[in-house]
A = this chain, B = another copy of it.
């Protein structure tokens, strides 16, 4: 029999996916355990293999980059000024990475597994990272102009992604250095504004150097 929305089966699948996203984003693929995921989902240990075949399969299905893609799509239709669009992108991306209430767990998993390849890395690169680089590359091209070299432009993309991801990666450390720190909406907006200002100044300098 096929699945239907709202059945107990679907509920278990969905609970497993949500629990898996939490665990994977908090502890990484290796660090997360099937048993803890099932405990969170209030189901049996065998459920993962029944519904997803394996821990790998669960990770693959837990990854959902639709919000990331939707954000890029909406950005393209927003303001015409590319600098404003870059500011919007950085803000939305930082919210996905840091916001406690509405953050995108798949994006956090992506951030985590940048450095730590798992069987799902190919899918992550194909569906999330490569499109992200392409999107940012085109956006920065609009800002930097045609004179800027391809390699230079790609490094600007790295500079922006590096800044954004650092706030996610270094969270455990920052909490030890500054225990009072909390990433509420106000703080995230301030951080995003800083990254945008810092980066736009950097890009404009690079493009000016290339124009000479």
Q: Which 9 A-B pairs have the closest CB atoms?
A: A162-B166, A201-B205, A198-B202, A115-B169, A162-B163, A155-B194, A162-B162, A201-B201, A117-B172
Could you tell me if A115 and B159 are in contact, using CB atoms closer than 8 angstroms? no
Copies in the complex: 2
Could you tell me if B197 and A206 are in contact, using CB atoms closer than 8 angstroms? Answer: yes
Does chain B have a CB within 8 A of A30?
yes
Given A158-B163, A162-B163, A165-B162: A173 and B205 within 8 A (CB)? no
A159–B198 CB distance below 8 A: yes
Asked if A120 is an interface residue, CB under 8 A from chain B, the answer is: no
Given known contacts A31-B30, A114-B169, A176 and B209 CB-to-CB distance under 8 angstroms: no
Nearest-Cβ distance from residue A186 to partner chain B, whole angstroms: 12
- Total A residues in contact with B, Cβ cutoff 8 Å: 51
Which residues does chain B contribute within 8 Å of A122, judged by CB atoms? 176
> Quick one: given A159-B163, A169-B115, are A197 and B191 in contact (CB under 8 Å)?
no
B-contacting residues, A128-187, CB 8 Å: 129-130, 133, 151-152, 155-156, 158-159, 161-173, 176-177
Contact in complex: B165, A169 (CB < 8 Å): yes
Query: How far is the CB of A134 from the nearest CB of chain B, in Å?
Result: 10
A28 to chain B, nearest CB (A): 6
B130 A177 Cβ-Cβ under 8 A: yes
Besides A112-B115, A159-B194, A197-B206, 10 new A-B residue pairs in contact (Cβ under 8 A), listed by A number? A30-B31, A111-B115, A114-B169, A122-B176, A130-B177, A156-B198, A159-B163, A159-B166, A198-B206, A201-B206
From B112, B125, B155, B176, give the contact of A191 (CB < 8 A).
B155
Q: Does A121 contact B (CB under 8 A)?
A: yes
